[in-house]
Each structure stands twice: as C-alpha cells, then as structure tokens.
Amino acid sequence: MQYSDSSSTNRFPDGLPLALVAGFALLIGIAIWSTVVMASVSLIGDLVAEIDFDTSTGALAVDCTEETDGLSLDEQILYEADCVTPTPVATSTPTPTPTPVKNRLDCDVIRGTDYLSRDERRWFLDNCVSR
C-alpha cells in the first residue's frame, strides 16, 4: 500500500519537520561563527593593546626604560632607533693652516722662475733688475 500523504515528504524519519531541523542547524552555525569572530576580535584587541603608538607622529613608540634582553628583532631595531644616542662622528677633518712661504733673497735663485709671492717679486724688481 502506498501512502499519499504529502506531509510525509517534509519530515525526517523520526517525525520532526524539516524547517525546524534546518532552523536549528542555522542557529548552531551562527553560534559557532559568532564565537570564532568574538575570539578573533579579542585576540586582535589584545595584540593591538600591546603596541604603543606615539599619538603626535603616529609612529610606534618604544619604552626606553625597559630591558632589552627579551626583545624581538623588530623591537630591538625600534629600541635602537628611538633610545640609543648615536656616537657623533667627525664630519670633516680640520684644514691645516698654510705655512707662510719664505721669500727668496737671492737674485740668481729667483731669476727664470715664478715668484713665490708679491713681496718676492717686488724685492726682485727693486734689487735685481738694473734700471
């Protein structure tokens, strides 16, 4: 004998309506999804709370009074950039003062060469050139 009851196709074998089971499964899925989202938001919030930002510049801020032993590589780089005063490096070497050139006082030594100064030229013209 065949059943012609159309309502039997919308029921599970134990007699629960299909819509009730689907609704219950949807609620369980939403509950699991919201738990995962809330845990993720909480974890991200905890991570962000550990990061200090300088509100004036928007850059990461580092506590220069803390120990540096347990810092990660990124934290060490930030610590060195913010907390370690660089050793000043000499930017240029001082230029030596030129030693004054002694004028030659010998006509034969000066003759045929460049003058070392105006004074030497004047002396040579006054003493070595016959007029």
pTM: 0.29
DSSP calls for 43-80? HHHHHHHHS-B-TTT-SB---TTS-STT--HHHHHHHH
59 contacts: CB under 8 Å, gap ≥ 6: 53
Q: Using one digit for the tens of pLDDT, what is the confidence trace for 8-66?
A: 566 666 666 777 878 888 999 999 998 888 888 777 776 666 665 555 665 656 666 66
Q: Using one digit for the tens of pLDDT, what is the confidence trace for 77-109?
A: 777 777 777 667 667 777 888 777 788 889 999
The reported pLDDT for the residue numbered 1 is 46
The token duo for 64 is 């220069």
- C-alpha distances in Å from residue 106, one per residue of 9, 17, 63, 102, 130: 132, 129, 74, 12, 15
- Determine the longest span between alpha carbons in the chain, in angstroms: 155
List, in sequence order, every residue forming a beta bridge with 17; answer none if it has no partner: 11
